Structure 1
């Protein structure tokens, strides 16, 4: 069921209420404290885009494999945007890009029960009809800018939910290899050599080769060696853009 509310601190906060159960979606027109990755805020002008959280209960999924749930959410958004003629790519770990511009972001939060997940919240912000952005943001875009037309927000939301449940069913059925294969095929900059930065400021060039089921990004360095990085251990740099972490607003 979709719960459409006027305002909340963040849809992920609201979705923690026990009254929401598996398959429910909280859609808010305004978030006073929307969150992105790394503690950054997510900005969303009222009436132009969608911010929502989907509540799922993947009790079958071991905690070390929780990244597969992130893959489910990311692939669902790619699938939905493709329905509208927009080719998006997944920028590890939590963003959707059209070209070199960010169109959507996710914040995934889990509760555990023993060794497995108990309750997972997929918080999603998708830029739909916004055409003007805060100039301090490094590289935003929207579906409207990508496609040259406006969209019915509720229709897009329902399309995203349909694809989310379809991808979730794929995970529940045990098709981990299929999810991994599809996620890799839709990764941003797959196989391309680009610039990356380590937390200490070191710059290096490498090519994205894939991602492990446990979430590590696999980068092939110029010397031919393959290195794996966890979230926060490496940063994409986008040439010609302000080199800030592009996974957040």
Structure 2
């Protein structure tokens, strides 16, 4: 079992930040993960916040040492998103992946991922994988897209510890495949939210309607712009979904 060193905290500002703070400590090595009952300042992509009721959800940051080229940085993102997809599938929940790293069910967000990497030359030496998965929370503030949870989808309460262990096991299996060069690009692309569906996006403060076609190996999103009939490529910070 790879993930066998756990630090659990009743409350913390951010599990990712806490794990990063251990960087110069001997404990900072692959297999370490941090969990908390409550995150005071949970964060997502592009400084978005993450809301979570105490003890109702899974808030976890995992440390791995992938030792892969910086050119393959999006491999880690795909690994984690597909692992969450696999976990939800175990419970009969059909999810999709909102590029680059949100998990969506029926147009509602159930999980988010924030990955922070440490580089040595052109190699990713360490990756801190932050995951927020809504499990038993029944009410949320208003978000775009709206939030949901396993409880709201299945009208059932779940043991967060069991779900945590299942997710860690799934991540370990996929991580081992990554280490031997397995490509999950097609798998990720087949599970993209809004794939080939007309939707409104914004880039450079200009809105347009387009259809998601695919992602490239480096994580670039390819969208067919319906206004001019041209395929355009976007990095994460260059595109916003307009709900």
- Normalization by structure 1: what TM-score? 0.90
Whole-Å separation in 2 of the counterparts to 1:208 and 1:128: 29
1:108-130: CA deviations, max 9, x gaps? Answer: 00000111100001100000011
TM superposition shift of 1:203: 1.6
Match of 2:10 in 1: 6
Whole-Å separation in 1 of the counterparts to 2:9 and 2:139: 25
Matched, 1:193 2:198: yes
Cα distance change, pair 204–136 in 1 and its aligned pair in 2 (3 A): closer
Q: Which of 127, 133, 156 matches 1:120?
A: 127
Query: In structure 2, the residue corresponding to 1:232 is in which secondary structure?
Result: helix
Matched, 1:228 2:233: yes
Higher RCO by CA contacts (8 Å cutoff, separation 6 or greater): 1
8 Å CA contact 2:107–2:145 kept in 1: the answer is no
TM superposition shift of 1:136: 5.4
Match of 1:204 in 2: 208
Unaligned stretches of 5+ residues in structure 2: none
Matched, 1:149 2:148: no
TM superposition shift of 1:137: 5.9
Query: In structure 1, the residue corresponding to 2:9 is in which secondary structure?
Result: strand
Match of 2:41 in 1: 33
Query: In structure 1, the residue corresponding to 2:87 is in which secondary structure?
Result: helix
1:29-108 to structure 2, matched below 5 A, reads 29-59=37-67, 61-108=68-115
Tell me which stretches of 4 or more aligned residues in structure 1 moved more than 6 Å. none
* Alignment root-mean-square deviation, CA: 1.3
Match of 1:243 in 2: none
